Amino acid sequence: MLRRMSAVLPLRPLSRLPLCSGGPEALAAAVVLLGASPGAVRFFSLMHLSRTQNNIQRYFGTNSVIYNKKDEQSVPTHEISKETESQDSVKENTKKDLLNIIKGMKVELSTVNVQTTKPPNRRQLRSLEATVGRLQRAPEDAPKKRSESLSPELVAAASAVADSLPFDKQTTKSELLRQLRQHEEDSRAQKEGERPKISFSNIISDMKVAKSATARVSTRPVHQIQFDEGSDDYGGQEKTADLRKSLRKNIFKGKRLNIFDLKAITEEAPEAETAPSLWDVEFAKQLAAVNEQPFQNGFEEMIQWTKEGKLWEFPINNEAGFDDDGSEFYEHVFLDKYLEDFPKQGPIRHFMELVTCGLSKNPYLSVKQKVEHIEWFKNYFNEKRDILKDSNIHFN
């Protein structure tokens, strides 16, 4: 076994090694475990390896029991799971926030932030960053871009406001939007590098501004910082943009073909989803080859290897190559919360603790399967309730 492992290691690129760091004892330990579990060998968590081998399993204490005995210690676990749940409800919260705010005529200080800190949506964030990047790089296009990128959010906000008010909804909405547009045009005309955020606060400056109590949850400093950076740079480059504008008149201003209509182009036509044809695939390949350059340094080469799957993925941890629908390790390990319906003491409890202990060390089952496993025992004991009663054991 040791031979096999040492045969594996040199063939790997170097960065796979750290997993086996830890000196000779660790290697020896790994080897023993490798020998213990037949078939497919996974490195990801050595603790998990001892599923089938009881003789190894017994060397590990019943670690999970601590959390059972000490209630306050299991709190973090629950907190974590609750928090993930609460993320889902943030979206609703923001909407509710908005409603509350409008009803009490209290407006949160930075509306933009409320909008941008919807549930941590990666895609949206990226698009925001992209927008910011464009703002920095292409100031002459900025006003148009900004109205494009911000307006869906604005419209959403406005319609939420309109919904909450008892008056005619369409009117309210359009009034709000008109005010926003008006202001955007003003700020563009002034060309003083006004930040979009400021323009926002101007709009709502007539209203009473107060910090909402619930705002703490929804505003995350990270987002705010990103946004601020973007608008700062934007202000600085306005002047040069003016200069460029005057210069480029001659080529981009003038008669055009006047064949296509902007409206017709931009309107969304529902396109039938079809699998990419050979033409599409080959075109994509061509495009990919356009900016293909030799590696600039060793790290870029490692990036390539990572993408090809030849390297361990950074950051290196015990979960490499382990994917269970994104469930975290603690969901695998801390299974005590599923024992709530079992008796607090007695042989069934003891038995179930052993079961969860075993399950928590099993890397081959998904979290769902583990829960099902416990459920099965629950049903089993439920069915045998009569027998249990006879032997004076209570199961509720």
Partner 1 sequence: MSFLPPTLLLLSCSVSANSRAIPRPPPPPSLGDPEGRGRAFPTCCAKRAKMAAAASARWLRIRCRLCLPLKSRRADPCEQAPSCRAFIFCRFYSESAALPNVEGADVTGIEEVIIPKRKTWDKVAVLQALASTVNRDTTAAPYAFQDDPYLIPASSLESRSFLLAKKSGENAAKFIINSHPKYFQKDIAEPHIPCLMPEYFEPQIEDISEAALKERIKLRKVKASVDMFDQLLQAGTTVSLETTNSLLDLLCYYGDQEPSADYHFQQREQSEESEEATEENNEKSRKKAGPQLGVTWRAKNNAERIFALMPEKNAHSYCTMIRGMVKHRAPVQALNLYTELLNNRLRADVYTFNAVIEAKALMVNEKFEEKWNNILELLKQMVAQKVKPNLQTFNTILKCLRRFYAFGRLPALQTLREMKAIGIEPSLATYHYIIQLFYQQESSAKGSPLIIYDIMNEVMGKKFSPKDPDDDAFFQSAMRVCSSLRDLELAYQVHGLLNTGDNWKFIGPDNRRNFYYSRFFSLLCLMEQIDVTLKWYKDLIPSVFFPHSQTLIDLLQALDVANRLELIPQIWKDSKEYGHTYRSDLKEEILMLMARDQHPPELQVAFADCAADIKSTYENQDARQTVPDWPANPLNYIAVLFLRAGRTQEAWKMLELFRKHNKIPRNELLNEFMDSAKASSSPDQAMEVVKLASAFSLPICESLTRRVMADFAVSQEQKEALGNLTALTSDSDSDSDSDISEGK
189 part of the interface to partner 1, by CB under 8 A? no
Length reported for the chain:
396
**Binding residues for partner 1 restricted to 311-340, rule: CB under 8 A:** 313-315, 317-319, 321, 328-330, 333
Question: How far, CA to CA in Å, does 277 sit from each of 280, 289, 290?
Answer: 5, 19, 20
> Which of 103, 208, 307, 368 lies at the binding interface for partner 1 (CB under 8 A)?
307
Q: State the nearest-atom distance from the C-beta of 157 to partner 1, in Å.
A: 25
The region of 17-25, 178-186, 205-213, 225-233 touching partner 1 under the rule CB under 8 A is: 17-25
> Which of 38, 39, 59, 396 lies at the binding interface for partner 1 (CB under 8 A)?
59
Q: State the nearest-atom distance from the C-beta of 31 to partner 1, in Å.
A: 10
Nearer to partner 1, 101 or 333 (CB): 333
248 part of the interface to partner 1, by CB under 8 A? yes
**Binding residues for partner 1 restricted to 154-183, rule: CB under 8 A:** none
138 part of the interface to partner 1, by CB under 8 A? yes
Helix axes 221-236, 196-203, angle to 10 degrees: 110
Q: State the nearest-atom distance from the C-beta of 190 to partner 1, in Å.
A: 23
- Per DSSP, helices labelled H in 191-314 are 196-203, 215-218, 221-236, 238-247, 249-252, 262-266, 278-290, 298-308
70 part of the interface to partner 1, by CB under 8 A? yes
Q: State the nearest-atom distance from the C-beta of 81 to partner 1, in Å.
A: 12
How far is residue 218's CA from residue 118's CA, in Å, rounded to a whole number?
7
In one letter, which amino acid is 40? Answer: A
Nearer to partner 1, 282 or 372 (CB): 282
Asked if residues 304 and 345 have their Cβ atoms less than 8 Å apart, the reply is no
Tokens 């037949």: give the residue: 38
Listed residue (361, 295, 354) closest to 332, CA to CA: 361
The region of 150-158, 249-257, 364-372, 384-392 touching partner 1 under the rule CB under 8 A is: 249-257
Ranges assigned E (strand) in the chain: 106-107, 208-209
Helix (H) or strand (E) holding 385: helix 385-390
> Which of 38, 166, 254, 270 lies at the binding interface for partner 1 (CB under 8 A)?
254
Q: State the nearest-atom distance from the C-beta of 134 to partner 1, in Å.
A: 9
Backbone angles phi, psi at 208, to 5 degrees: -80, 130
The region of 94-102, 104-112, 283-291, 368-376 touching partner 1 under the rule CB under 8 A is: 283-291
How far is residue 362's CA from residue 324's CA, in Å, rounded to a whole number?
13
How far is residue 161's CA from residue 89's CA, in Å, rounded to a whole number?
20
How far is residue 155's CA from residue 173's CA, in Å, rounded to a whole number?
8
Residues whose CB falls within 8 Å of the CB of residue 74, separated by 6 or more in sequence, listed in order:
67, 68, 334, 336, 337
Angle among Cα 8, 1, 312 to the nearest 5 degrees reads: 30
294 part of the interface to partner 1, by CB under 8 A? yes
Listed residue (114, 102, 212, 115) closest to 161, CA to CA: 102
272 part of the interface to partner 1, by CB under 8 A? no
91 part of the interface to partner 1, by CB under 8 A? no
Q: State the nearest-atom distance from the C-beta of 89 to partner 1, in Å.
A: 16
> Which of 60, 127, 191, 229 lies at the binding interface for partner 1 (CB under 8 A)?
60
> Which of 58, 123, 216, 344 lies at the binding interface for partner 1 (CB under 8 A)?
58
The region of 55-63, 151-159, 164-172, 208-216 touching partner 1 under the rule CB under 8 A is: 55-63
The region of 76-84, 99-107, 225-233, 379-387 touching partner 1 under the rule CB under 8 A is: 76-84
> Which of 277, 391, 392, 396 lies at the binding interface for partner 1 (CB under 8 A)?
277
Nearer to partner 1, 34 or 388 (CB): 34
Q: How far apart are the first and last CA of the chain?
A: 49
Listed residue (215, 312, 360) closest to 21, CA to CA: 312
265 part of the interface to partner 1, by CB under 8 A? yes
In one letter, which amino acid is 298? Answer: G
The region of 183-191, 201-209, 246-254, 367-375 touching partner 1 under the rule CB under 8 A is: 246-254
DSSP 168: -
> Which of 191, 310, 368, 385 lies at the binding interface for partner 1 (CB under 8 A)?
310
Q: State the nearest-atom distance from the C-beta of 103 to partner 1, in Å.
A: 30
